[in-house]
Amino acid sequence: MNSDHPSKPPQQAGVALIMALVLLLVMTMVAVVAMRSTTLDLKMTTNNTQTRRAFQGSDGARDVITPVLASHVFYHGWPTSLTGGTVAASASFTIPQGITVRDTSKRLDLAQNGTFTRFSGTPSSDLTFKDDVNGNGTMDPDDVNAELWVTRVGTLPAAGGNLGSNAADQGAGGGGASKYILFDLRSDGRAVGNAQSRTGADYRALIR
């Protein structure tokens, strides 16, 4: 005798559901790990970029400051365009935009600029350089910021010259023997994210 009732489907033990949940959990864990790895890689790349930018700022600032230092040595002072400057405008000694002289009363050519130990502490620098690309007065990723320390370390006779009996530099037509003033330039470059790079170089300025 045939029954009019449909046959009951076989009962499921829930294995498919459990397997689906396990696979979903595994996929979620893989996605989370991948996201964490990507985030870490992004942070490392960003830090590396800002560190390089700080280094470039530190290194580049010294190149910008050397012509200014050469003029300061030659004219024995700072231009009158700066408060406290003594070099007349007729001397054509100008300070490029972005460079700030901390103390115009100091003669860097006469070692009125401290010693090497200042760089290891936190006193103010001799000069600062800031290239505000966007002109908004804040530190942006494209900006270059650097503090510079200039330390006179001695003098050296130029070829065919001598130091003479007077170690003070004559400069700017003073009639003294040709010589070099040797400087140690230290630069502290900074970028966004507290990136910082310190570099140094020797520089010699010729005076006559």
Average pLDDT over the chain reads: 78
More confident of the two residues 142 and 44: 44
DSSP annotation of 165: S
Q: Is the pLDDT of residue 161 over 70?
A: no
- Look up tokens 């002289």; give the residue: 101
Structure confidence at residue 170 as a pLDDT band (50, 70, 90): very low
As a whole number, mean pLDDT of residues 173-201 equals 79
Amino acid, single-letter form, for residue 92:
S
Alpha-carbon span 202 to 204, nearest angstrom: 7
201, two tokens: 């170089």
Question: Highest-confidence range of 35-44, 62-71, 176-185, by mean pLDDT?
Answer: 62-71
Contact between 172 and 76 under an 8 Å Cβ cutoff? The reply is yes
For residue 165, the model assigns a pLDDT of: 41
122-155: per-residue pLDDT in tens?
557 889 888 765 665 555 656 678 889 998 988 8
First vs last C-alpha separation in the chain = 128
User: Residue 74, exposed/middle/buried by CB under 10 A (0-12, 13-18, 19+)?
Assistant: buried
3-class DSSP state for residue 191? strand
**pTM for the full model?**
0.68
Alpha-carbon span 148 to 129, nearest angstrom: 8
Q: What angle do CA 118, 168, 83 make, to 5 degrees?
A: 60
For residue 70, the model assigns a pLDDT of: 92
As a whole number, mean pLDDT of residues 6-20 equals 69
